[in-house]
Amino acid sequence: MAYYLIRAPPDAGLPPEQHNQLSDGELEPPRLSGPALTVALRGTRFDAETGNAVWEKENYCRPLLAQEHNAVLDNFDAIRVKQISRGDGWKEIKVLPSLWAHSHPS
């Protein structure tokens, strides 16, 4: 299994209704392509310096991130992916604010 740090502009991103369903636990496997994607999306951060949503994701698929594209990544443009070791992505982005706080302030 491989791990990736994913960066993408959140402009289109996950629509607000899907974010609400994700936060409420309504978007769970299998509708969201498994628990790894659910965890990744819940932990997505916002990098104000680059304007990107950033998250770590484990990947089992060939081609790379195929299930994720079917579930949510088609909502993002200009996706950049970097292979990393497990946990390194979360360590790198832990100081960044949640994407959801940025996208949907209370």
pLDDT digits (tens, 9 = 90+) for 44-90: 898 999 888 898 988 776 666 666 655 566 666 678 889 999 999 99
Give the pLDDT confidence score for residue 36 in this predicted structure: 72
Kindly tell me the sign of the dihedral angle through the C-alpha atoms of 84, 90, 96, 99. Answer: positive
Q: How far apart are CA 87 and CA 85, in angstroms?
A: 6
Q: What is the mean pLDDT of the chain?
A: 74
